[in-house]
């Protein structure tokens, strides 16, 4: 199968993720969309690795996963504490730090 | 390796600054004496420089050179020419007077907590400024100079913003606001100038590949470094703008009256007599030496700006109601003379400008410090609040008058020599500009005498009654300054002997010769 | 012997330094010290004079180079002295009259708590004035020139608590500074033209340069002379300068300093002789001032101001004479010396009158004082006869010569000048007779209960007597064998000129106009009683009381105009120059305010801008690649 098709898939996933980040208000959903974008990138990395015949892309994909895992921990903690203090998970409500 | 005299002259006040700052809160007086001793030590080192400097010798003497930031070719290079050594002497001479004059200016108020240490800070900052100014007169590496040029803004900012005229400021919020406005204005003006200079410094490095003044000058002289006309002009403008802000030249002058008005008198002297001199000094050393062609290209415009400064500053001085602002505008007028002398491109003009820097430093110090003593007695800077001081404090009035007469360049006092040299030097190349600038001497008489008349003569005002005359400490500040003014007015030869060879070098940098007298030229 | 020249200046300078820095400890002896040092200077002057007389006329000039003052390449200013016949004349006049006035001041200033300071200033003046006349180059002369200006400033404003005195002092210094500007421009032109401003170099080379530069130098020197010598248009300060103590008016504003302009022009004769046009201007200035001062002198009721007008007018005579060239220089200086005697004497007399009259200066409140102050009356009277040119007295010899020289100028000019000088002589006789009659003759117009006129003490009368002798004899002595002219001839050169009118006719006509002037004054002030309150007077009288309105002109044009100018500049500086800067700052503040609004706190709008930015970057990269 032509690896370019995987790239199309990756672009599609990324676009879905980006649209979710921009459109949805619920922090959890936004968060999941961010994850979706990250994984879209991972897919693209792996595809490129395959296309170019070296391991660079796969290694970077691993790094991304590690970073994403760390990010999930921090991000979920923030969301949980936000929900606790404000009883809402809407990102639009969390605008306290603007000037 | 010989003793690094130049480094020592700058290092002593720097170390002294740290030591002074570290003195415990309750040992205030010790901090003052320490600062005074350090400044006197620096004066001694400056005197050694003067002695060891050979007027007829190499252009830069007592040189030191060490690698600093190898990757960018930045070196710690020091050296002094006659102009530098004269200005270092001026700086080292004035700082002890500034310290003694400001002896009580930073005593903590009773309302402050006992851990508050403004006194230590005040004197440490003054010494820090001295260290940086001295080193900037010594630096022959453009980058090193740039760093010092900018760094001295930091202590100056705190000196202006942090310490006002104590006598009338107990808890005065409006005065504090005014002061911080002045300090911020000072900082912003100079930072903008400094930024342009930074761009030009980097540009210079890109073009020349080195920051060393010597190497660039040598490369320019033997033709291996050929700048395109436009490049040279742009770089020149970058440097000149920074120096013109510092000098200050019309229309970049408006920070000076605010800064001098709000700062205490000793700090005002520090600004105008010491720090501002770095600007005019740098015009001579960097603008003319690095960019001779561009300097000549810009001369007409700069001369016009200088003449405007002279007349405009003097006219505004006449219109001031505040003693310190009046002196500030007078200084603007005087800086106009200095810049005019530098860019007249004659030996007389540039020698005169250098002497002017020294003499203006001393005469302004004399006038401003006495004005400060006056202000501290009455707690007001407004001219209208005084009258008849001569009757109650004749010594104060007398020294004030001498300071004023020096400011108006009375023959017999030092500023006359320099002012006349600048005028003659300018006149011999640009007669029209020289004649217009001569008007400045009439206006100078006007603002000085009006100031004297309104404050010192006439019936004694009720608030002035009982004003004490100069105390011993104050007299110790003023009397030596006046003695130097008289000495340099009658016998300026020691100074001209040091300055003349340096000016010869600058003149050959720009490939200019003095115009010949008409009679001689005809033969 | 020439080493004494520096000492001549050093003695009073030392006095000034000691007296001004010495503090109150010297109050008891200050006046004696000051007088002693002035006398020492006079003694040295006499010694040098004797030495000079011992040499032949051509070898009398002495030069003494002291040290190099400001050496900068081509610009070589030296401190050097030149003592020739012209300088010698001045040295003797300055130190001689100066010493007398020091003695007089001991009595006059007896009750002033600042007497020591006064003598310090007087000594300072002597030193500066000697420096002025002894300098061998223009720059050093300039030092003395401003030095006397400073001394004059300090002395006019000696009673600083009086606002009028402080204002008068400031005015004198400022007007003089305008003249000084002329002198400094002249020196600058000299330097660019001849490469030097030493007398010898300049005078030797002056023939080699063109009309333009010589004219400029001449006009600028004239401007300087106008300032110092109170000539039109810079005359306005002299009348106000009478605010100073009377000895000051006698020494500085009558006998010595105000004649510095005459010295300057005479000294620069070599330059003025080159340019006829400038000489014409000099003559016009002199003639105008001579009438101006005389008219003002007629209208003043203040005895000192009347005498000040007279001084202005007499210096007008001298300036006019210097403008005549070699015909006139010697006579200008001769009149200067005789004027020094009689005018100093008159001022001292006026001071003596004021001393006895509780410092009243209004002549309308004098009257009949000759009985109460006999010595003052006689000495003042002799000075009076001298100044109006009574035959045989000093003024007669010197003024007569100037009138002759004016006719000798030749052509229409000569006639006009002759007529002006004759007219001036008539007016002089008129106003001086008026002063004399109002003060010493007629009814008593003072309040006998408050005022007790009395003769002044010996320290004051002795100098007056000495000066009176000078006023009587000097002119005659100078004219024996034309000795004074011959004495000065090596310096100023001399030519007789062809007068269309014979000397006898001139003398006769001066006596006639003298009688007319005296007669008119007698008709007005002698025959009928003088009103205590000044009558309204004619338009001219009222204008003359206000110094012919030129002060009003100065006030409206210069003072008011200047005030408006500075005020508007302060406004401009604050709103425009500073405004641009503050405006820039405000602009950035506003801009940042706008930009701040973009940070609305909505995470999703930040995300939009992020995506947008990324898209733009990618698009740009692709575009660059395509290109």
Give contacts of C10 with chain B, Cβ < 8 Å.
none
Nearest CA in chain B to C150: B410
Pairing relation of β-strands B61-69 and C75-83?
unpaired
**Minimum mean pLDDT range among A62-76, A85-99, B251-265, C495-509:** A85-99
Nearest CA in chain C to B256: C578
Least CB–CB distance from B428: residue in C180, C191, C194: C191
Return the number of other C-beta atoms located less than 10 Å from residue B339's C-beta. Answer: 30
Segment C141-191, tens digit of pLDDT: 999 999 999 999 999 999 888 889 998 999 999 999 999 999 999 999 999
Give contacts of C604 with chain A, Cβ < 8 Å.
21-23, 25, 30, 91-92
Say whether pLDDT at B172 is over 70: no
Domain covering A26-86 in this structure, CATH number: 1.10.287.3510
The pLDDT score that the predictor gives to residue B402 is 94
Tell me if B346 sits within 8 A of B361, measured CB to CB: no
Nearest CA in chain B to C181: B438
- Opening angle at CA B300, ends B298 and B305, nearest 5: 95
Helix (H, G, I), strand (E, B) or coil at C109: coil
**Minimum mean pLDDT range among B30-44, C9-23, C179-193, C361-375:** C361-375
Confidence of residue A97 (pLDDT cuts 50, 70, 90): low
The pLDDT score that the predictor gives to residue C580 is 84
Average pLDDT over residues C324-334: 90
What value does the mean pLDDT of chain B take? Answer: 89
Segment B489-498, tens digit of pLDDT: 999 999 999 9
**ipTM of the complex as predicted:** 0.91
Confidence of residue B407 (pLDDT cuts 50, 70, 90): very high
Say whether pLDDT at B111 is over 70: no
- Check C178 against B519: CB less than 8 A apart: no
Confidence of residue B113 (pLDDT cuts 50, 70, 90): low
What value does the mean pLDDT of chain C take? Answer: 88
The pLDDT score that the predictor gives to residue C21 is 87
Return the number of other C-beta atoms located less than 10 Å from residue A49's C-beta. Answer: 18
- Per-domain boundaries in chain B: 295-324+331-492
Comparing B320 with C559, the larger pLDDT belongs to B320
Least CB–CB distance from B442: residue in C177, C577, C585: C177
Instruction: Note the Cα C318 to chain centre separation in Å.
Output: 13
Mutate to test the interface with C, among B449, B452, B464 (most CBs of C within 10 A): B449
Percent of chain C past pLDDT 70, that is, above it, reads 100
Tell me if B187 sits within 8 A of B258, measured CB to CB: no
**Minimum mean pLDDT range among B78-92, B399-413, C397-411:** C397-411
Distance from CA of B227 to the nearest CA of C (A): 32
Separation in Å, CA C6 to CA B365, B486, C35, C45: 32, 18, 19, 11
Comparing C81 with C528, the larger pLDDT belongs to C81
Least CB–CB distance from A22: residue in C599, C601, C604: C604
Q: Is the pTM of this model over 0.90?
A: no
The pLDDT score that the predictor gives to residue A65 is 93
| C360-388 as b/e: b if 16+ CB within 10 A | bbbbbbbbebbebbebbbbbbbbbbbbbb
Average pLDDT over residues C80-90: 91
Q: Which is it for the CA torsion C82, C86, C89, C91, positive or negative?
A: negative
Say whether pLDDT at C389 is over 50: yes
Tell me if C86 sits within 8 A of C266, measured CB to CB: yes
- Check C195 against B320: CB less than 8 A apart: no
The pLDDT score that the predictor gives to residue B167 is 47
Average pLDDT over residues C495-523: 86
Tell me if C401 sits within 8 A of C271, measured CB to CB: no
Average pLDDT over residues B101-124: 77
Least CB–CB distance from B316: residue in C146, C187, C570: C570
Nearest CA in chain C to A14: C611
**Minimum mean pLDDT range among B243-247, B454-458, C384-388, C442-446:** C442-446
Omega prior to B363 cis, within 30 of 0: no
- Per-domain boundaries in chain A: 26-86
Whether C614 has its CB under 8 Å from any CB of chain A: the answer is no
Confidence of residue B91 (pLDDT cuts 50, 70, 90): very high
**Minimum mean pLDDT range among C227-231, C294-298, C536-540:** C536-540
Q: Is C325 left (phi over 0), alpha (psi -120 to 50) or beta?
A: left
Confidence of residue B116 (pLDDT cuts 50, 70, 90): low
Say whether pLDDT at B405 is over 90: yes
Separation in Å, CA B280 to CA A29, B6, B67, B240: 65, 21, 28, 10
Work out the end-to-end distance of chain A between its first and last CA atoms, rounded to an integer number of angstroms. 53
The pLDDT score that the predictor gives to residue B305 is 94
Q: How many residues does chain A have?
A: 99
Give contacts of B500 with chain C, Cβ < 8 Å.
71-73
Q: Is C60 left (phi over 0), alpha (psi -120 to 50) or beta?
A: alpha
Tell me if B178 sits within 8 A of B262, measured CB to CB: yes
Asked if A touches B (at least 3 Cβ pairs < 8 angstroms), the answer reads no
Give contacts of B443 with chain C, Cβ < 8 Å.
none
Segment C15-63, tens digit of pLDDT: 999 998 887 888 888 889 999 999 999 999 999 999 988 888 888 888 8
Burial of B114 (0-12, 13-18, 19+ CB in 10 A): exposed
Query: Tokens at residue A90, please?
Result: 């809407």
């Amino acid at each position: 199968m032509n690896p370019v098709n995987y790239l199309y898939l990756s672009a599609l996933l990324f676009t879905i993720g980006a649209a979710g980040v921009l459109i949805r208000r619920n922090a959890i959903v936004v968060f999941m969309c961010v994850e979706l974008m990250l994984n879209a990138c991972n897919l693209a990395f792996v595809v490129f690795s395959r296309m170019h015949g070296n391991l660079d892309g796969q290694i970077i994909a691993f790094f991304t996963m590690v970073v994403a895992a760390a990010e999930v921990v921090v991000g979920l903690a923030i969301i949980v504490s936000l929900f606790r203090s404000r009883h809402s998970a809407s990102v639009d409500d969390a605008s306290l730090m603007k000037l | 390796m010989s003793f690094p005299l130049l480094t020592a002259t700058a290092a002593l006040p720097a170390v002294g600054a740290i030591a002074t700052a570290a003195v415990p809160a309750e040992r205030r007086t010790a901090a003052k004496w320490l600062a005074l001793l350090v400044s006197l030590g620096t004066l001694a080192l400056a005197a050694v420089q003067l002695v060891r400097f050979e007027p007829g010798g190499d252009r830069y003497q007592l040189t030191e050179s060490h690698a600093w930031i190898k990757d960018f070719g930045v070196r710690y290079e020091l050296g002094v020419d006659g102009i530098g050594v004269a200005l270092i002497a001026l700086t080292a001479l004035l700082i002890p007077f500034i310290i003694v004059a400001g002896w009580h200016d930073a005593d903590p108020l009773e309302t402050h907590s006992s851990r508050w240490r403004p006194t230590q800070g005040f004197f440490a900052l003054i010494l820090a400024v001295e260290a940086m100014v001295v080193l900037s007169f010594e630096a022959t590496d453009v980058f090193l100079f740039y760093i010092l040029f900018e760094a001295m803004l930091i202590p100056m900012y705190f000196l202006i913003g942090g310490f006002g005229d104590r006598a009338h400021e107990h808890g005065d919020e409006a005065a504090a606001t005014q002061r911080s406005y002045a300090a911020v204005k000072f900082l912003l003006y100079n930072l903008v100038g400094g930024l342009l200079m930074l761009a030009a410094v980097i540009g210079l490095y890109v073009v020349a590949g080195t920051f060393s003044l010597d190497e660039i000058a040598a490369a320019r002289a033997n033709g291996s470094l050929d700048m395109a006309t436009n490049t040279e002009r742009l770089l020149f403008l970058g440097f000149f703008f920074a120096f013109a802000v510092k000098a200050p030249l019309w229309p970049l002058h408006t920070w000076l009256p605010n800064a001098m008005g709000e700062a205490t008198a000793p700090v005002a002297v520090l600004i105008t007599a010491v720090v501002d001199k770095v600007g005019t000094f740098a015009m001579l050393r960097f603008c003319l030496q690095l960019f001779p062609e561009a300097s000549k290209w810009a001369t007409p415009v700069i001369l016009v700006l200088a003449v405007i400064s002279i007349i405009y500053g003097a006219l505004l001085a006449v219109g001031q109601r505040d003693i310190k602002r009046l002196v500030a505008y007078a200084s603007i007028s005087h800086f106009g003379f200095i810049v005019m002398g530098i860019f007249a491109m004659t030996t007389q003009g540039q020698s005169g400008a250098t002497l002017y820097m020294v003499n203006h430093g001393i005469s302004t110090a004399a006038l401003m410090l006495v004005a400060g003593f006056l202000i501290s007695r009455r707690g007001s800077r407004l001219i209208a609040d005084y009258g008849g001081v001569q009757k109650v404090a004749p010594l104060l009035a007398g020294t004030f008058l001498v300071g004023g007469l020096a400011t108006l360049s009375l023959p017999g006092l030092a500023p006359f020599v320099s002012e006349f040299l600048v005028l003659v030097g300018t006149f011999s190349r640009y007669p029209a500009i020289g004649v217009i600038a001569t008007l400045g001497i009439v206006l100078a008489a006007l603002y000085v005498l009006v100031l004297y008349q309104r404050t010192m003569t006439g019936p004694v005002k009720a608030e002035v009654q009982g004003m004490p005359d100069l105390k011993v400490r104050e007299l110790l500040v003023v009397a030596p300054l006046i003695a130097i003014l008289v000495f340099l007015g009658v016998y300026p030869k020691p100074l001209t002997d040091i300055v003349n060879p340096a000016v010869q070098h600058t003149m050959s940098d720009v490939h200019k010769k003095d115009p010949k007298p008409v009679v001689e030229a005809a033969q | 012997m020439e080493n004494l020249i520096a000492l001549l200046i050093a003695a009073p300078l030392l006095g000034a330094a000691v007296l001004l820095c010495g503090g109150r400890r010297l109050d008891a002896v200050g006046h004696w010290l000051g007088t002693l040092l002035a006398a020492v200077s006079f003694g040295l002057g006499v010694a040098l004079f004797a030495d000079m007389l011992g040499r032949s006329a051509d070898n009398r000039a002495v030069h003494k180079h002291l040290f190099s003052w400001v050496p900068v390449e081509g610009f070589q200013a030296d401190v050097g002295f030149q003592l020739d016949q012209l300088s010698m004349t001045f040295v003797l006049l300055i130190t001689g009259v100066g010493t007398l006035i020091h003695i007089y001041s001991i009595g006059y200033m007896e009750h002033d708590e600042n007497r020591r300071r006064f003598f310090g200033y007087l000594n300072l003046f002597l030193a500066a004035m000697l420096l002025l006349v002894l300098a061998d180059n223009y720059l050093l002369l300039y030092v003395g020139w401003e030095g006397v200006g400073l001394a004059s400033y300090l002395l006019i404003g000696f009673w600083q608590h009086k606002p009028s005195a402080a204002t008068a002092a400031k005015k004198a210094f400022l007007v003089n500074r305008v003249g000084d500007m002329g002198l400094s421009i002249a020196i600058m032109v000299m330097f660019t033209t001849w490469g030097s401003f030493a007398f010898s170099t300049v005078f030797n080379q002056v023939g080699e340069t063109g009309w333009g530069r010589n004219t400029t130098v001449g006009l600028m020197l004239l401007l300087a002379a106008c300032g110092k010598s109170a000539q039109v248009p810079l005359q306005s300060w002299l009348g106000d300068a009478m605010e100073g103590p009377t000895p000051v008016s006698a020494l500085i504003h009558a006998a010595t300093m105000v004649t510095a302009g005459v010295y300057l022009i005479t000294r620069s004769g070599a330059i003025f002789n080159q340019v006829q046009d400038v000489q014409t201007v000099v003559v016009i200035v002199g003639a105008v001032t001579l009438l101006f001062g005389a008219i003002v002198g007629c209208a003043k009721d203040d005895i000192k101001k009347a005498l000040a007008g007279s001084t202005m007018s007499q210096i007008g005579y001298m300036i006019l004479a210097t403008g005549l060239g070699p015909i006139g220089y010697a006579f200008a200086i001769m009149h200067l010396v005789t004027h020094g005697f009689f005018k100093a004497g008159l001022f001292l007399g006026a001071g003596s009158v004021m001393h006895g009259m509780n410092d009243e200066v209004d002549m309308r409140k004098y009257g009949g004082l000759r009985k109460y102050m006999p010595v003052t009356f006689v000495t003042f009277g002799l000075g009076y006869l001298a100044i109006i040119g009574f035959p045989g007295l000093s003024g007669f010899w010197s003024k007569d010569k100037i009138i002759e020289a004016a006719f000798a100028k030749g052509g229409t000019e000569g006639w006009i000048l002759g007529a002006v000088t004759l007219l001036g002589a008539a007016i002089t006789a008129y106003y001086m007779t008026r002063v004399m009659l109002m003060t010493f003759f007629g009814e008593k117009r003072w309040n006998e209960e408050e005022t007790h006129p009395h003769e002044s003490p010996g320290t004051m009368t002795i100098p007056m007597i000495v000066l009176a002798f000078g006023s009587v004899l000097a002119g005659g002595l100078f004219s024996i064998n034309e000795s004074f002219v011959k004495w000065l001839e090596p310096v100023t050169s001399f030519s007789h000129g062809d007068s269309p009118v014979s000397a006898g006719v001139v003398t006769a006509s001066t006596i006639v106009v003298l009688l007319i002037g005296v007669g008119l004054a007698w008709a007005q002030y002698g025959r009928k009683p003088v009103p205590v309150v000044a009558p309204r007077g004619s338009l001219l009288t009222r204008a003359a009381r206000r110094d012919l309105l030129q002060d009003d002109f100065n006030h409206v044009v210069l003072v008011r105009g200047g005030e408006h100018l500075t005020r508007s500049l302060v406004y401009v500086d604050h709103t425009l120059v500073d405004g641009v800067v503050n405006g820039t700052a405000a602009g950035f503040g506003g801009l940042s305010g706008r930009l701040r609004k973009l940070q609305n706190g909505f995470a999703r709008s930040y995300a939009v801008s992020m995506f947008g930015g990324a898209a733009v970057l990618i698009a740009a990269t692709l575009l660059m690649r395509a290109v």
